[in-house]
């Protein structure tokens, strides 16, 4: 809790809130928040074990303990398949000679043929190889997968849950619009207003000030700036070319400007006024990535959900632009994990994509957790099952295509191998194949294995399928 001072706090890594939050005396601040433009005295009310960061790590460990992975098909299948085929081979050897006057040497060879062809090496080799090929195809596209079972789950995922900041959006402030003298404008118009704001913000270390200077700093190169002053949590003032200006949020304007007019544009507004009149405003916002909407369409998932710690109006604006079905805002990390848990209880297979410290518990809770590796935190990458090496969400759609193709190849190999083996075993059992059919048994084992392996390698080419 703040006992003295006022400052703006960057809480993006904890709550996903892009815009810094102003905190003053009496306000609580989370462990892990970063003070941007002021000096504050805080009183710790909780021990480390009860802090936000500690609880995030706690939830991460618990959700990993609860997480269950699908067993490999071959492990379950072998428990039933192996004893059954061994028993069938023995019956083929002994039943006809004992009860139907068959020749021992003839039925011994038929039983051995059945035993040879029943060897499950085609399944044992080709199924893992299919997953390895799928993982390799993903890695070519910059998607790291931590296990073949995650490809299996991703292929059947029907619910996509996404963090906002850094996942659907760029995670940094970009210029949106400018308004001056009631005239709406964009691009490089109204340079006078942009020049004044950039000059006033020249010496500020605030993230928004840095964005302003990157975008419009060159407009103010020739300005003479004096008496620059920072008002913690409010903005700045400075004398630019002999005239005093105030630049900051609506609270600063209300203190120094009588004709102040608040903008309706969604984002972070930076207002400007002189001592005599209101000049106008510019708006910065966390912009949606260019490929986000197309990537969500290409993903082909029935239900999409966005979860963020940011404000409701900002969350809804981004969700509408991205085509998201359901929006949750103002969430803490444990609330995100609870929502995913409820979705799973309702029967949904959830793939969650995020990049921040606050996403770690829910990345681990989801059936498949996908971390944005380009700008993602180390703990998010560690907690995830898949990592996109970059910031393009379209990679997730490619990953799902790879997963679906890989599972289809696995099913092809299983059906083909079992069908051929069963046909040969039945042929041996009913006497269609004679004692010279060992060559056919060898084909049913080695030949089928080679064909299945060749089919598995097709998964390596799936990564070349691009999002259209």
Q: Which residue has the higher pLDDT, 427 or 262?
A: 262
Annotate 97-120 with DSSP letters as a single string. HHHS---HHHHHHHHHHHHHHT-T
Predicted confidence (pLDDT) per residue in 358-380, tens digit: 788 888 889 999 988 755 567 77
| Confidence at residue 88, expressed as pLDDT on a 0 to 100 scale | 81
| Confidence at residue 70, expressed as pLDDT on a 0 to 100 scale | 35
Q: Is 347 helix (H, G, I), strand (E, B) or coil?
A: coil
| Confidence at residue 66, expressed as pLDDT on a 0 to 100 scale | 41
Q: How far is CA 13 from the centre of its chain?
A: 15
pLDDT category of residue 468 using cuts at 50, 70 and 90: very low
With DSSP H G I counted as helix, E B as strand and the rest as coil, what are the percentages for the chain, rounded to 5? 50, 20, 30
Cα–Cα dist 128/248, whole Å:
59
Residue 170 Cα distances to 164, 409, 456, angstroms:
9, 36, 37
State the pTM of this model. 0.71
Is 367 one of the catalytic residues? no
Q: Does 351 have pLDDT greater than 90?
A: yes
Show the DSSP H helices in 205-249 as ranges. Answer: 207-216
Q: Does 197 have pLDDT greater than 70?
A: yes
* Torsion (CA) 206, 210, 212, 215 in degrees, nearest 10: -170
| Confidence at residue 67, expressed as pLDDT on a 0 to 100 scale | 40
Please pick, among 163, 281, 359, 385, the residue that the annotation labels catalytic. 163
Q: Does 51 have pLDDT greater than 60?
A: yes
* Cβ(322)–Cβ(339) below 8 Å: no
Cα–Cα dist 181/281, whole Å:
9
Cα–Cα dist 282/252, whole Å:
15
Mean pLDDT (the chain, rounded): 81
Q: For residue 280, what are its two tokens?
A: 């106008």
| Confidence at residue 374, expressed as pLDDT on a 0 to 100 scale | 58
Predicted confidence (pLDDT) per residue in 135-174, tens digit: 888 888 888 888 888 888 899 999 999 998 888 888 777 7
Q: Which residue has the higher pLDDT, 124 or 41?
A: 41
Q: Does 269 have pLDDT greater than 50?
A: yes
Cα–Cα dist 388/395, whole Å:
7
């Amino acid at each position: 809790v703040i006992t003295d001072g006022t400052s703006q706090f960057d809480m993006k890594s904890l709550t996903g809130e892009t815009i810094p939050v102003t905190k003053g005396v009496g306000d609580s601040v989370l462990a892990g928040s970063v003070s941007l433009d002021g000096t504050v005295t805080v009183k710790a009310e909780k021990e480390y074990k009860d802090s936000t960061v500690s609880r995030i790590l706690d939830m991460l460990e618990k959700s990993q303990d609860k997480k269950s992975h699908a067993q490999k098909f071959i492990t379950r299948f072998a428990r039933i398949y192996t004893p059954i085929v061994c028993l069938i081979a023995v019956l083929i050897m002994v039943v006809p000679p004992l009860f139907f006057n068959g020749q021992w040497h003839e039925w011994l060879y038929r039983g051995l043929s059945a035993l040879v062809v029943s060897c499950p090496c085609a399944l044992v080799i080709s199924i893992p190889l299919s997953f390895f090929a799928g993982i390799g195809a993903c890695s070519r596209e910059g998607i790291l997968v931590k296990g073949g079972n995650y490809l299996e789950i991703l292929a059947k995922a029907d619910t996509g849950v996404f963090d906002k900041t850094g996942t659907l959006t760029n995670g940094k402030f970009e210029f949106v619009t400018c308004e001056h003298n009631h005239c709406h404008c964009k691009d490089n118009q109204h340079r006078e207003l942009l020049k004044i704001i950039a000059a006033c913000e020249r010496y500020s270390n605030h993230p928004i000030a840095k964005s302003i200077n990157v975008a419009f700093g060159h407009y103010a190169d020739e300005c003479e700036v004096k008496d620059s002053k920072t008002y913690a949590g409010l903005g700045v003032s400075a004398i630019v070319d002999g005239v005093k200006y105030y630049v900051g949020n609506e609270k600063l304007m209300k203190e120094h400007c009588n004709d102040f007019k608040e903008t309706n544009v969604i984002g972070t507004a930076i207002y400007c006024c002189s001592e005599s009149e209101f000049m106008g405003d510019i708006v910065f916002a966390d912009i949606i990535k260019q490929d986000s909407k197309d990537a969500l369409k290409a993903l082909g998932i029935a239900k999409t959900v966005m979860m963020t710690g940011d404000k409701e109006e900002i969350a809804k604006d981004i969700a509408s632009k991205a085509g998201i079905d359901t929006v949750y805002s103002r969430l803490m990390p444990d609330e995100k994990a609870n929502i995913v848990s409820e979705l799973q209880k309702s029967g949904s297979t959830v793939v969650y994509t995020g990049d921040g410290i606050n996403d770690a518990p829910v990345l681990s809770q989801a059936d498949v957790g996908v971390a944005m590796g380009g700008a993602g935190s180390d703990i998010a990458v560690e907690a995830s099952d898949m990592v996109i090496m970059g910031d393009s969400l379209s990679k997730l759609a490619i990953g799902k295509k790879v997963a679906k193709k890989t599972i289809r190849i696995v099913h092809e190999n299983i059906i083909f191998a079992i069908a051929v083996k069963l046909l040969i075993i039945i042929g041996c059992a009913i006497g269609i194949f004679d004692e010279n059919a060992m060559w056919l048994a060898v084909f049913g084992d080695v030949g089928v294995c080679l064909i299945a392996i060749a089919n598995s390698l097709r998964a390596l080419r799936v990564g070349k399928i691009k999002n259209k």
